[in-house]
Amino acid sequence: MVHNRLPIIVALTGPACFYTPAGSQSATEGDGPDPGSLVEPGDPGSGDVTFEIRADTDRHPISPWIYGTNQYEDLATTNRGLALVRAGGNRMTAYNWENNASNAGADYQHQNDDYLASQLGVDGDIPGEVVRAVAADVLDAGADLLVTVPICGYVAADKDGGGDVDQTPNYLETRFHPTIARKDAAFDSEPDLNDDAVYQDEFVAWLQAQFPDAFHGERARLLFSLDNEPDLWSSTHERIHPDPVGYAELVDKNTEFAGAIKDVAANAIVAGFVSYGYSGYTTLQNAPDAQGEFISYYLQAMAEAEAQAGKRLVDVLDLHWYTEVYANGQRITGDDNSPASVEARVQAPRSLWDDSFQEDTWIANDVVQGPVRLIPWLKERIDEHYPGTGLGFTEYNYGGGGHISGAIAQADVLGIFGREGVTLAAYWALSEQTSMIWAALRAFTSYDGQGSKFGDTSIHAVTSDVAATSVYASTDVADPARTVIVAINKTGGPLTAAVTLAAYADYSSVAVWQLTGPEPELVSGPALTPAATNAFRYEMPAYSVSVLVPQ
């Protein structure tokens, strides 16, 4: 759990990944043009490390939705190429779409107010304007929006401020309205502000009316998540949910609200259960009716709900992940950039996948008693209990947002998400230091500053030294000859990588972009000339993220 996170929803300043936004292509067998003959590589010569890349092996689609954020800046420049924005966070648990009121919960005095509208600079008297304004901005920029649907029990009825709502007698009746999954009546074009109830299926229908084009096609461009961090409701929102949530209660809420959403927007992606962290995954934060591991329980329950409903209700297992690693006496999710924090930060992403790496945390040492290997562990549960479910991390952060170590960790995480087939991901800023994070994102979404991006298909890319380096590679369904490589040096000295590339082209040069700090910019470097067919050596700068594009 990361405390004191900003409560605003959006700050306006091989595995198979089977969900892609409208207009995107997915890399499945038989898609795209005939790639032609594979060109095997020659010998690049010796190096400190070797990178083996093959376009014919480990092929699977990369979901564009992994390139997402909760706090975005200018989608046209700073964050060019981002594909997903999440409207989430603690403030959304008690958000009333009818009047844009919300309750701050423990983040600020359990107060009802108009914080969301005021932060966005929109008219809070217009129903749904907090979400509509963000959706319009995001969709216009070509990204998709993940909208939070409140399911906790109540949403704020007023924007009166004045501190804790518990100062009001019978505050649940006077300061809140029930949030109800289904209206069971005709939807109104404008919500009834006097019926003392807020209907979430009507909210989805209202969004459809506002953005009809976003719901055309195989997949809607507005996605929905089922509230936020329910495993912490009793601490973050104790005024409306004072008791810890239980296994059965949360499954019932997810089933009811997901079903209501799908009844209105059958092509929408629904994500649940939006856990805060590892203890939520395992015991739902010591739920009163805990019976075995919660993620397994939840997935099995959602499989049973699908059988009962005759349709899938929850498409993506949605989790939050904030590394628990400490260094120099501080959690590395902060802005400490001491040598100890830098070293811990650049290694921390290995816990997402590496069965040879054991981090020094209570999770690894006391619970798992070994490597965390988070994504494989989660996928094993999905495969066992509810095959076909996507995996999302809609909040995550590795710290160092103003330092090259933060860029390295961020780029590494994005590479891992693509290689491991994650469906959704959205970075959450924990401080104002974010410039290096956006630079790392651009390594995948606009490395040349003109919109050139990592490919849509992950391919085999292996380094001989996973502690010192990472390497990720891609091609495109529409152009199998196009290869993009992201190479990461996690050490304080230069390293020469000997690269072999089995590809559907014979390349004569390699274009280079480098992110080295202290400036958060990818800078074009001298092109490389292969030493042999599709084989070259590249000297990676110390602590760097490089984009290599054979041509």
Instruction: Please give the pLDDT value at position 14.
Output: 33
Q: Does residue 26 lie within any of the structural domains?
A: no
What is the arithmetic mean of pLDDT over 266-290? 98
pLDDT class of 80 with cuts at 50, 70, 90: confident
pLDDT at site 28: 44
Q: Does some domain include residue 84?
A: yes
Q: Which of 52, 129, 202, 229 is catalytic?
A: 229
Q: Which helix (H) or strand (E) holds 511?
A: strand 510-515
Quickly state the pLDDT bin for 15 (edges 50, 70, 90): very low
The structure tokens listed for 102 are 């919300």
pLDDT at 31: 61
Residue 11's pLDDT is what? 35
The DSSP 8-state label assigned to residue 518 in this structure reads: S
The neighbour count for residue 108, using CB atoms within 10 Å, is: 15
Starting at the earlier edge strand, list the strands of the sheet with 390-397: 68-69, 84-87, 144-149, 222-226, 270-275, 316-322, 390-397, 424-425
| pLDDT band at residue 76 using 50, 70 and 90 as cut-offs | confident
CA distance 399 to 393: 16
Could you tell me if residue 511 is inside a domain? yes
Pick the closest to residue 267 from 315, 318, 211 (CA basis).
315
- In the annotation, is 306 catalytic? no
> H/E element holding 539?
strand 535-540
Q: Give the phi and the psi of residue 20 in degrees, each rounded to 5.
A: -135, 145
pLDDT at 390 over 90: yes
Q: Is the pLDDT of residue 81 over 60?
A: yes
Distances (CA, A) of 138 to 7, 267, 366, 436, 491: 20, 19, 42, 22, 37
Domain assignment of residue 407, yes or no: yes
Across the strands, what pairs with 391?
317
Whether 27 shows a pLDDT value over 50: the answer reads no
Whether a cis peptide bond, with omega within 30° of 0, leads into 288 is no
521-528 CB contacts, 8 Å cutoff, 24+ apart: 521/439, 522/439, 522/442, 522/443, 522/447, 522/448, 522/449, 522/547, 524/448
Average pLDDT value for the chain? 94
- Residue 74 confidence class, pLDDT cut points 50, 70, 90: confident
Answer whether residue 8 is part of any domain.
no
pLDDT given for residue 128 in this prediction: 98
Collect all residues with Cβ–Cβ distance below 8 Å to 170 and sequence separation of at least 6: none
* Degrees to nearest 5, angle at CA 419 with 417 and 421: 65
pLDDT bracket for residue 103 (50, 70, 90): very high
How is residue 277 written in tokens?
A: 């962290």
CB atoms closer than 10 angstroms to residue 197: 15
* CA 52 – CA 33 distance, rounded (Å): 25
Separation of alpha carbons 132 and 204, rounded Å: 11
Residue 236 placed within a domain: yes
The reported pLDDT for the residue numbered 34 is 81
Report the range of poorest mean pLDDT among 19-23, 82-86, 484-488, 524-528.
Answer: 19-23
d(CA 488, CA 543): 8
Determine, yes or no, domain membership for 33: no
Overall number of domains in the chain: 1
For residue 390, the domain's CATH number is: 3.20.20.80
pTM: predicted TM-score of the whole model, two decimal places: 0.95
Give pLDDT, residue 78. 77
Q: How far is CA 67 from the centre of its chain?
A: 7
The tokens of 408 are what? Answer: 């390295």
Confidence of residue 440 (pLDDT cuts 50, 70, 90): very high
- pLDDT for the residue numbered 75: 82
Write down the pLDDT at residue 531.
Answer: 98
- Running DSSP on this structure, what letter comes out for residue 188? P
- Domain span at residue 168 reads 49-550
Evaluate whether residue 35 is within a structural domain. no
Query: What mean pLDDT comes out for the span 307-314?
Result: 98
